[in-house]
């Protein structure tokens, strides 16, 4: 019997424990059970749980001025934060538009792209091109851009205008030229689709520099982003880098774009920007984009955008990342975690791929390693592993349905950057045990 409650919960198939306390890479529930946070929630928490400096910054700003509307005031905390974060972003002369999370950041980014073209005298440019095997959020515009069938299905009657190009998923690359020419092939494909849609109609191309939950920590071939950027520039199509998951050190660089020298026109941030301490995100436009839109104004806004408290929290998180060299920690610990995983699971007959950048890591589970055949989705392997790990005191994040026909199982790891080396070893051991407790993974002598 589900327990009585007036909450409409995120999940309706199980009762959830009460989260009571958290510190570093640990969460305890109200019964005192300890969980190692191997995924920072939904790959959110970078600076660790229970950071006093962040909490103090939040309280200080909330007690001096908690709320003022974005059309009536700016604030010291927002101006300071924007001036500190702008030089770190891979955009020239960045302007940030703060919102309450990743989906709002994506909605804002799409509207910035459209507003830019209208202001620039190209009113036909309105189409959004995105990729299959992507996730950009759950509001309607962001969901329409997302290439994740299971999330789109119930709302498909409302979706449709966004155009999707194939996923960039090297582990399951169908081309015989793999892996020498994949980036160029994808760029050619994008070029073809833009021409088919009519360059005069296409406003923007949106993609994650490293794909998050849709495929499970999938990095592109190295030649992808430079080639894509060139195609988009040639057609006056703005590039939106969705860095909601990859931003703020998650991949071992400040931004995923930094790995390939990508200079997007617009960037979205969420999750790690406030490490979960405050619902916050932003869309950043390059100065060139902003300068075109600004004279006519930007028709957009949310009651809770431009939050002074959110900016104070983001500022304190930024200080943490800088002072404790946490982006480098993410890089170093990510390499260590990959090595530990390779040692423990590299020969496991059901582990097809172990991959990632920084502390954004995916372990792909397959029914057959040599053919890479996924388990049928109906076996719910991912869900079983996530549940078994949680029972054993480890939190991991699911990424299911990225392979052919909606099958596919990936366990995502994305612990806080403050996780200790001992905790990394514990994480791998707990994951190994969780895999061993799922019947479908135990076959074929995998124990």
Please give the residue ranges that form the binding site for ligand PLP (CB under 6 A). Answer: 42, 101-103, 106, 135-137, 208, 212-213, 242, 244-245, 270
Nearer to ligand PLP by C-beta: 277 or 375?
277
Contact 241, 268 (CB under 8 A): yes
Give which of 420, 261, 254, 407 is closest to 337, Cα–Cα: 420
Nearest in space to 214 (alpha carbons), one of 345, 360, 100, 111? 360
Minimum distance from residue 109 beta carbon to ligand PLP (Å): 10
What's the closest the beta carbon of residue 423 comes to ligand PLP, in angstroms?
24
Looking at beta carbons, which residue is closest to ligand PLP?
A: 102
Q: Are 49 and 27 in contact (CB under 8 A)?
A: yes
Residue 252 or 270: which CB sits closer to ligand PLP? 270
Which residues of 250-333 form beta strands (DSSP E)? 266-269, 281-285
Element (DSSP H or E) covering residue 35: strand 34-37
Check residue 117 and report its DSSP letter.
H
Report how far Cα 357 is from the mean position of its chain's Cα atoms: 13
CB of 326 to ligand PLP, least distance (A): 20
Q: Whole-number minimum distance, CB 130 to ligand PLP, in Å?
A: 11
Q: To the nearest whole angstrom, how small is the minimum distance from the Cβ of residue 92 to ligand PLP?
A: 23
Give 268's strand partners.
242, 283
Question: φ, ψ for residue 317 (rounded to 5)?
Answer: -65, -40
- How far apart are the C-alpha atoms of 78 and 57, rounded to whole Å? 13
* Residue (118 or 146) nearer to ligand PLP, CB: 146
Residue whose CB is less far from ligand PLP, 27 or 244: 244
> Please, which residue, 191 or 208, has the CB nearer to ligand PLP?
208
In the complex with ligand PLP, which residue's Cβ is closer, 208 or 315? 208
- The nearest distance, CB 192 to ligand PLP, in angstroms, is 25
Nearer to ligand PLP, 375 or 417 (CB): 417
- Is the backbone peptide bond immediately before 276 cis, with ω within 30 degrees of 0? no
Per-residue burial over 356-393, b = 16 or more CB atoms within 10 Å of its CB, e = otherwise? bbbbbbbbbbbbeeeebebbebebbbbebbbbbbbeeb
Strand ranges inside 94-144, DSSP E: 95-99, 127-131
Q: Which two tokens stand for residue 343?
A: 């040692």
Shortest gap between Cβ of 410 and ligand PLP (angstroms)?
A: 14
Nearest-angstrom CA–CA distance, 367 and 384:
15
DSSP summary character for residue 375: P
Nearest CB to ligand PLP, comparing residues 141 and 350: 141
From the CB of 276, what's the least distance to ligand PLP, in Å? 10
């Amino acid at each position: 019997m589900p327990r009585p409650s007036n909450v409409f919960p995120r999940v309706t198939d199980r009762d959830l424990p009460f989260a009571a306390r958290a510190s570093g890479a640990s969460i305890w529930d109200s019964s005192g059970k300890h969980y190692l946070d191997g995924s920072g929630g939904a790959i959110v928490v970078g600076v660790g749980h229970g950071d006093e400096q962040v909490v103090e910054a939040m309280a200080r700003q909330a007690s001096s001025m908690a709320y003022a509307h974005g059309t009536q005031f700016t604030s010291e905390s927002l101006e300071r934060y924007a001036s500190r974060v702008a030089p770190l972003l891979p955009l020239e002369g960045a302007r940030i538009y703060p919102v309450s999370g990743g989906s709002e950041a994506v909605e804002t980014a799409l509207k910035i792209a459209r507003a830019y073209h209208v202001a620039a005298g190209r009113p036909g440019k309105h189409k959004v091109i995105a990729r299959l095997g992507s996730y950009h959020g759950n509001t309607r515009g962001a969901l329409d851009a997302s290439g994740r069938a299971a999330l789109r299905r119930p709302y498909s009657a409302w979706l449709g205008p966004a155009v999707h190009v194939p996923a960039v998923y090297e582990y399951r690359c169908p081309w015989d030229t793999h892996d020498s020419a994949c980036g160029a092939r994808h760029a050619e494909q994008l070029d073809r689709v833009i021409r088919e849609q009519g360059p005069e109609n296409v406003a923007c191309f949106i993609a994650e520099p490293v794909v998050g939950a849709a495929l499970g920590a999938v990095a592109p071939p190295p030649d992808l982003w430079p080639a894509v950027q060139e195609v988009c520039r040639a057609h006056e199509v703005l590039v939106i880098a969705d860095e909601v998951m990859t931003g703020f050190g998650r991949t071992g660089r400040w931004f995923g774009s930094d790995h390939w020298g990508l200079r997007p026109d617009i960037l979205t941030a969420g999750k790690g920007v406030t490490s979960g301490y405050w619902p916050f995100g932003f869309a950043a436009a390059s100065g060139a984009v902003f300068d075109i839109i600004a004279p006519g104004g930007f028709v957009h806004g949310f009651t809770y955008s431009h939050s002074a408290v959110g900016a104070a929290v983001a500022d304190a998180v930024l200080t943490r990342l800088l002072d404790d060299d946490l982006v480098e920690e993410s890089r170093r610990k990510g390499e260590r975690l990959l090595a530990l995983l390779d040692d423990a699971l590299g020969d496991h007959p059901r582990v097809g791929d172990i991959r990632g950048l920084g502390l954004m890591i995916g372990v792909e589970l397959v029914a057959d390693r040599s053919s890479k055949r996924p388990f049928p989705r109906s076996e719910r392997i991912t869900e079983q592993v996530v549940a078994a790990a949680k029972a054993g005191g480890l939190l991991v994040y699911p990424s299911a349905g990225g392979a052919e026909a909606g099958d596919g199982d990936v366990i995502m790891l994305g612990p806080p950057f403050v996780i200790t080396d001992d905790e990394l070893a514990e994480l791998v051991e707990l994951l190994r045990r969780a895999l061993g407790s799922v019947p479908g993974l135990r076959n074929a002598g995998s124990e």
